[in-house]
Amino acid sequence: MWLLLLASLGGCRWFAVPPQLPVASSIALDELIVYSDFELPENHRLLRDLELLRTDVTDQLSVPVSDEQIQVYVFKTPKRYRKFLREHFPDFPDRRAFFVETDTRLSVYSYWGDRIAEDLRHEVCHGYLHAVVPEIPLWLDEGLAEYFECSRGDGGLNEIHLEQLLEAKKEGEWRPDLAHLEQLENVSDMHQIEYAEAWLWAHFFLRTTPARKQILQDYLTQCRVRPTRSFSKGLLKVEPDAEKNLIAHLEMLKETPSLFQNQPDVKILEADRLE
């Protein structure tokens, strides 16, 4: 999963001559146009999922619905996808999917593989976010994408990240550090553990108390008007024990994951209410 901002490059050079783009078939879905080099059934569950994701993202984050188009390119095979990547984005690392933002376009690229649903949810989530919060800080952008990439029934519970954080905590190799996350400006600076922590913060804000959810929503509103990187300072003023409470939330997820799973609609849990 890869996010690259190419604003300084402009859009034309990359998109004017895209001979291998998979555009044999296309399906328009609200903000999305899904192109593929094979026939994708219009009523495929994956496509309905991406439509529902738009509602989930805008409702849960209380951001406006954008009409900015997002192009999604799905190659039939990894071979075709990688060939395209080598020719058009030779400096990109080898990832299953990625999101590109230029001055004029929001685009997602991927291929039809076992994890296409998760990959598209993640990358399209970046698209939905950047359409309305172009200056969203990296840690939050990735944390929310990791949250929303989970299937709806999982309620944002990313078990791989949960396991990794629990293990790293047990080994004394990790503790929450939001100020550190905020300093990260490039995807290449983010390691797996930082993706995991960013996801946990997203889950903490969206799935614990209405007050925390409001803090996140207010911050996103602020980012739309005046980009800022001082989220952690503001948070610690309102909730000085936020990082300790994040650990408590992690433990709760370990003990009672079912409280958060299999609930298609977001349910606010009051168990670790703000003091």
Rounded CA-CA distance 206/146 in Å is 13
The nearer residue to Zn ion, 1 or 136, going by C-beta atoms, is 1
Region near Zn ion per CB under 5 A, out of 36-44, 134-142, 204-212, 241-249 = 134-142
Helix or strand run (H / E) with residue 127: helix 116-132
Residue 138 in contact with Zn ion, rule: CB under 5 A:
no
Q: How far is the CB of 237 from Zn ion (least distance, A)?
A: 29
Least Å distance between CB 246 and Zn ion?
Answer: 21
- Whether the CB-CB separation of 229 and 176 falls below 8 Å is answered with no
- 1 in contact with Zn ion (CB under 5 A): yes
The two tokens of residue 19 are 């001979």
Q: Which of 29-37, 137-145, 214-222, 267-275 is the region at the interface with Zn ion (rule: CB under 5 A)? A: 137-145
Question: By CB under 5 A, is residue 34 in contact with Zn ion?
Answer: no
Both structure tokens of 47: 């496509």
Pairing of strands 97-101, 2-5: parallel
Q: Given the complex with Zn ion, which of 37 and 194 has the nearer CB atom?
A: 194
Contact 75, 37 (CB under 8 A): yes
By CB under 5 A, tell whether 136 contacts Zn ion: no
**Shortest reach from residue 53's CB to Zn ion, in Å:** 14
User: Rounded distance, CA 54 to CA 222, Å?
Assistant: 21
Q: How far is the CB of 79 from Zn ion (least distance, A)?
A: 23
For residue 242, state whether it binds Zn ion (rule: CB under 5 A): no
Smallest separation (angstroms) from Zn ion to the CB of 123: 7
Q: Which stretch binds Zn ion (CB under 5 A): 41-49, 73-81, 141-149, 201-209?
A: 141-149
190 in contact with Zn ion (CB under 5 A):
no
Are 23 and 111 a contacting pair, CB within 8 Å? no
Strand 106-111 vs strand 25-29: parallel, antiparallel, or unpaired? unpaired
d(C-alpha 60, C-alpha 118), whole Å: 19
| Count of residues touching Zn ion (by CB under 5 A) | 4
| Nearest to 70, CA basis, from 47, 46, 94, 100 | 100
**Residue of the chain from 120, 145, 200, 220 that contacts Zn ion (CB under 5 A):** 145
Binding site for Zn ion (CB under 5 A): 1, 3, 142, 145
